[in-house]
Amino acid sequence: MISYPNAKINLGLNVVEKRPDGYHNIETVFYPVPFCDILEILPAVSDVPSFTASGLVIPGPPDQNLCLKAVDLILTAVRRPLSAVSINLHKMIPPGSGLGGGSSDAAFTLKMMNDLNGLSLSGEDLSLMAARLGSDCPFFIRNRPAFAEGRGDVLKEIEVGLHGYFLAIVIPPVHVKTAGAYGMITPGKPAVSVREAVGLPVEEWKGKLINDFEKPMVSKFPEIGEVKEKLYELGAVYASMSGSGSAVYGLFKNAVPLADQFPINYFSHISQL
């Protein structure tokens, strides 16, 4: 079985408060985008699940990959023997970019294991499992635009009018560690909430739909700000960093050429929503 775990972008991201458990409460809109990895799950020749990867380099040892952790969760949850599987992941979504690629791979693994084994686990069951793998993993179970609160795991579906826009994603060669990024934020309620801002026409998002991580990340990595400025120069209706970075996206009414606009070591992708 083959599936195509997709990325997400954050439409706004406000860090509202620090929680007693050390995490932070946020508000954001997760929006699925057609930029995908390729995930294949096959019956294994041995009794032990295996994992191989190709494409972009994935940080960390292969035996600690979230896909294998997702398989372990399924095996623990169903409490009955399942055939071992071989997982092959072709990585196209750059890791550590704020696009949720690893979380998507894990969530799609849960869904594929459910289908392959005829387990009939509900979306709610899978979402609860996904939350144990990462705060944004539950979003990829339903994979529809969602307003997210809490740690990003409290989701409510939301209508966002981006159909037909062109999405450009550009990633400079800098690595942002999420834990360190939170340490640079002073939590607080925003002047304009994410829910209120995304209800406005996209042309009015600039200056109102804010990612709290963007200002400190641009201060640390000026390349991020330079990418955002360039996207506006190219005609973006709205541009922002996604998550804690370093990916920056722009929304355009028409397709734009990206190949010659950024240094050769920058990653770029464009697709229509």
Q: Find the catalytic residue in 8, 91, 228, 230.
A: 8
Encode burial over 18-28: b for 16+ CB neighbours within 10 A, e otherwise: eeeeeebbbbb
Say if CB 233 and CB 184 are below 8 A apart: no
Q: Is 8 a catalytic residue?
A: yes
DSSP state of 20: T
156 has catalytic annotation: no
CA distance 121 to 234: 46
CA 75 remoteness from chain centre = 25
Sign of CA dihedral 245, 132, 59, 9: negative
Token match 């939590």: residue?
Answer: 187
3-state secondary structure 153-215: CEEEECCCCCCCCEEEEEECCCCCCHHHHHCCCCCCCCCCCHHHHHCCCHHHCCCCCCECCHH
- Residues 37, 105, 136, 212: which is the catalytic one? 136
Q: Which residues are catalytic, by number? A: 8, 136
